Structure 1
Amino acid sequence: MDRSTQIKAMASDKRVEILRLLSAPETHFSRQWSADPVAVGVCIQLIAEALNIAQPTASRHVELLKHARFITVQKQQKWSYCKRNDAGLQDYFQWLKGEINLP
């Protein structure tokens, strides 16, 4: 795993906000009609709307989070759905904890 990609992913307020929103998709994206936001994930377009950014910008943020293994992206028909990867996040924070010598 390239840890610099993960560090870069965490260096953006928007990307951290995406991770926060995806922690409770049923709360933040309950109006999604195309798929269950918990079971399938959240459409990138709704993420863009929640952050008040353009969809291509949201897609770039999502792509970096995916490469960092902080989210998974699943395509269904013409939409891409994002889910938070808690195992990937846990791995990163365990690594970071060891790197900075936290007990």
Structure 2
Amino acid sequence: MNFLEINKVLSNKVRIDILHWLKKPEKNFPPQVNVPDFNDGVCVCHIQDKTGLSQSTISHYLTMMHKVNLLIATRHGKWTYYKRNENEILNYIDSLKNEL
């Protein structure tokens, strides 16, 4: 785990908001059309709508979060869905507790 890279990702309020919203997707996003539930995460289009930012900015943010394993990406056809990687988030928190 690279603390510096994860900390860089977490240094942006919108990326923190995304992690917060994905913690309870059913409360923060509308029902999804192409999948029956949130088991594979939330469609990028819904995350973009909630942030109000451009598609390219949100894609960049989600890619950054995925590269440091904070998010898990799943493809359904042409759509990508993201959910929190709870194990990695807990590992990061535990490592912070132990190291600092």
TM-score normalised by structure 1 residue count: 0.90
Task: State the partner residue of 2:86.
Answer: 86
Residues 5 and 64, structure 1, Cα contact 8 Å, conserved in 2: no
Residue of structure 2 equivalent to 1:27:
27
| Offset at residue 94 of structure 1 (A) | 0.8
1:20 and 1:72 map into 2 onto residues whose CA distance is 15
Partner Cα separation in structure 1 for residue 37 and residue 58 of structure 2: 17
Listed as ranges, the gaps of 5+ residues in structure 1 are: none
Name the CA shift for 1:13/1:3 in 2 (closer, same or farther; >3 Å): same
The match for 1:67 is: 67
Q: Residue in 1 aligned with 2:96?
A: 96
Q: Distance in 2 between matches of 1:93 and 1:5?
A: 14
- Give the Cα–Cα distance (whole angstroms) in 2 for the partners of residues 25 and 65 of structure 1: 17
Corresponding residue for residue 2 of structure 1: 2
Instruction: Compute the RMSD of aligned alpha carbons.
Output: 1.2
TM-score, normalised to structure 2, is 0.92
CA distance in 2, matches of 1:12, 1:97: 21
| Unaligned residue ranges in structure 2 (runs of 5+) | none
Runs of 4 or more consecutive aligned structure 1 residues displaced over 6 Å after TM superposition: none
Kindly tell me the number of residue pairs found equivalent between the two proteins: 100
Q: Which amino acid aligns with 1:85?
A: N
Moved more, 34-43 or 81-90: 34-43
Pairing 1:40-79 to 2, within 5 Å after superposition: 40-79=40-79
Letter in 1 for 2:68: A
Q: Which amino acid aligns with 2:66?
A: K
**Is the 1:30–1:37 Cα contact (8 Å) retained in structure 2?**
no
